Structure 1
Amino acid sequence: MTTGIKVSICLPTYQRPELIAQCLDSCLSQTHTNIEVLIGDDSKDDRTRALIASQYAADPRVRYFRNTPSLGQARNVDSLFTHATGDKILLIHDDDFLAENAVERMLSAWRAHPQVQVAFGDQYVTDSRGTVLPAASAHLNRAYHRTRDVAGLQQQPGRTGLVQMFPNNGWMGDADLVKRIGYREQNGVACDYVFGTEICLAAKGVYYLNEYVSYNRRTEVSITTSTRTSTSASTLVAYNFLMALTLPPQLEPARRIALRRMVPIVVSIHARNHAPLESLKIALSHLSAYNYGFSRRLYFHLLIMAKALLTQRKSAF
């Protein structure tokens, strides 16, 4: 039985009172009722605080924390982990929301396999209004290796994090493990990927539920979107982390799978930020990411590098 298991739902938020209500309502309407919802508010204004005070203050399951000054993404999340009093921790961001049976369904992994320490499921993709996009949802989960044939207890838990099968939110984990791994500020906007990789590497058991348990909303305003072409882009930080990571031999194939996704993005970022030689070095070091020269993307990136070199030479005269 899992009814006695308390789940702490951690909900970091920043300047999105128009979205957090749907997220919070999805948490409070869970079919598994032994929950607490911890809100970490990094907002610059009082709109979110006022919303929580007017609509949710009477619910004893809601615990609200106003961060003054703002903590930033990683420290905000980690602070919520610290405040959590549940047996399990679930993370959901303010612009996303949960299926009404998400907690119950993920807890079923522990009933079937007591050695499980982390569980997650599929994610719906929605538009900015929260309307599900079926084709985009199917594509997202396929792209991140979430398919029916690999459902259940993962044979290589560490691989799950490396190849980004593990989602950035909507997952559940043993509270003690989640708190031990934590979010770290030095990982910047890649803190989600680093955390997901490290918790899967550390977990004794990782379970993938081939059912939709959360909704991932597409919005124009996000940290990842606003930094994706800069040298602080999450993919670049994740690439540097992955390259420095010491792995056992059996997980090297998973590293190569992850690099196939990351390398073309990293190459493009360097070329567009006036580092064409670094861009070329990375591309030539990871030709498998370009299907060993049979990808048109490689030649497009070589063109970008050439233009960047010409621009550098012109500016030097």
Structure 2
Amino acid sequence: MNRESYPLVSVLIPAYNRPDTLKIAIDSILDQTYPNIEIIICDDSSDDRVSEMMDSSYSHLPQIRYFKNEQNLFIGNWHKCFDLSSGEYINYLMDDDVFHREKIATMMSYFLRFENITLATSYRQTIDANGEHIPPIYATQRLYREDRVMDGKMLGNYALSHCLNVIGEPTTVLFRKKDLIDRYGFYQGKQYVLLNDMAAWLSLLSKGRAVYITDAMSYFRLHPNQNNETLGANLFSEWLDLMIASREDGFLDRDDLYQMALRSYRDRVGGYPAYAKDIDRIDTILASL
């Protein structure tokens, strides 16, 4: 089969001030065994280091489309990447993460073999600032011992009831573009910021089946300068908003699951004064069930 016989996959990178790790990320896409990939990079950087690196290293490659934003778009940069993409399938890649070279081929094989798949994810290997493997954190523990195809709501319920993004960061998930009807990070009419990935995953999981792959198909870099370290602690409240909104979409459909989710959230934030209103809100909901 020639390259054009394979569905086009768009890998989207919302870049920001990390030319060194961005280069590693791009090289991991160029090393993919899957033959039909385009790369869209929208650069929200506050300086020219990324644009200079792109000019010197990748300006000769037609499969890479690079755009430098005139002003910082923040979450809008994610939408810009999506709108500029031409692929039937989408995989975001954070500019400090890395793909396994078989990632796209492995995940696409499930979409091509099975019907009604709306999301493919996998175990993700945590790495440090230098790219060395480190032990998993709680959210990145391997979920299963074997690959599996499952009902999307089953995976969504597991994440919601544990108040934990076990599905993965944006780098981890591959999905079909047409299945994400709302903009990335929108769920039930609200744009999520800290949990834009979970919001997108719930939207996708509500529509079909999920694939979980036990091998590490991506590498999640943990380092002191990650964006979510600067977004503000009170944005953790987005978990509670997602739990409540998800009930309207068929998640947490049993009261015991909903109670487990609410109590998991309360356990996570209990003792922090900033979340006093959330605790009151949870107590009111629990009393009504």
TM-score bucket (shorter structure): 0.7 to 0.9
Tell me the distance in 2 between the aligned counterparts of 1:244 and 1:140: 22
Whether contact under 8 Å (2:10, 2:91) holds in the other structure is yes
The letter for the 1-side match of 2:227 is I
The residue that corresponds to 1:306 in the other structure is none
Q: How does 1:1-317 map to 2 (within 5 A)?
A: 4-72=6-74, 74-133=75-134, 135-136=135-136, 139-142=138-141, 146-148=143-145, 151-155=147-151, 157-162=152-157, 163=159, 164-169=165-170, 170-178=172-180, 180-184=182-186, 186-201=191-206, 203-229=207-233, 231=234, 233=235, 235-245=236-246, 246-248=248-250, 251-252=253-254, 254-269=257-272, 271=273, 273=274, 276=276, 278=277, 281=280
Deviations 1:192-212 (A, max 9, x none): 2211212211x3222111221
Any idea what SS the aligned residue of 1:209 has? strand
Whether contact under 8 Å (1:7, 1:35) holds in the other structure is yes
Q: Which has the larger radius of gyration?
A: 1
Whether contact under 8 Å (2:6, 2:36) holds in the other structure is yes
Whether contact under 8 Å (1:141, 1:147) holds in the other structure is no
In structure 1, list runs of 5 or more residues that go unmatched: 288-317
Any idea what SS the aligned residue of 2:130 has? coil
1:176 Cα deviation (Å)? 1.1
Whether contact under 8 Å (2:38, 2:63) holds in the other structure is yes
The letter for the 2-side match of 1:97 is V
32-41 or 191-200, larger mean C-alpha shift: 191-200
1:266 Cα deviation (Å)? 3.1
1:141 Cα deviation (Å)? 3.3
The letter for the 2-side match of 1:236 is S
1:257 Cα deviation (Å)? 4.8
Any idea what SS the aligned residue of 1:148 has? coil
Whether contact under 8 Å (1:117, 1:173) holds in the other structure is yes
CA gap 1:22/1:249 in 2 versus in 1, 3 angstroms: closer
Deviations 1:170-202 (A, max 9, x none): 21111111354533483222212211212211x
Whether contact under 8 Å (2:153, 2:250) holds in the other structure is no
Tell me the distance in 1 between the aligned counterparts of 2:181 and 2:63: 21
Larger proportion of helix: 1
CA gap 1:36/1:165 in 2 versus in 1, 3 angstroms: same
CA gap 1:285/1:224 in 2 versus in 1, 3 angstroms: farther
The letter for the 1-side match of 2:48 is D
Q: Provide the alpha-carbon RMSD of the alignment.
A: 2.6
The residue that corresponds to 2:162 in the other structure is none
CA gap 1:280/1:102 in 2 versus in 1, 3 angstroms: closer
Deviations 1:135-187 (A, max 9, x none): 326x5433xx72125x32113x0232341332122211111113545334832
CA gap 1:259/1:108 in 2 versus in 1, 3 angstroms: farther
Any idea what SS the aligned residue of 2:154 has? helix
In structure 2, list runs of 5 or more residues that go unmatched: 160-164
1:279 Cα deviation (Å)? 6.0
The letter for the 2-side match of 1:148 is R
1:86 Cα deviation (Å)? 0.9
Question: Which one scores higher on RCO, CA 8 angstroms, separation ≥ 6?
Answer: 2
The letter for the 1-side match of 2:269 is V
Tell me the distance in 2 between the aligned counterparts of 1:199 and 1:262: 23
Deviations 1:258-288 (A, max 9, x none): 445432233344x1x3x64x3653575699x
1:228 Cα deviation (Å)? 4.9
1:112 Cα deviation (Å)? 2.7
CA gap 1:240/1:179 in 2 versus in 1, 3 angstroms: closer
CA gap 1:50/1:95 in 2 versus in 1, 3 angstroms: same
1:249 Cα deviation (Å)? 7.2
The letter for the 2-side match of 1:100 is R
Whether contact under 8 Å (1:158, 1:251) holds in the other structure is no
Tell me the distance in 2 between the aligned counterparts of 1:13 and 1:21: 11
Aligned residues: 272
The letter for the 1-side match of 2:43 is D
Tell me the distance in 2 between the aligned counterparts of 1:26 and 1:282: 45
Any idea what SS the aligned residue of 1:117 has? strand
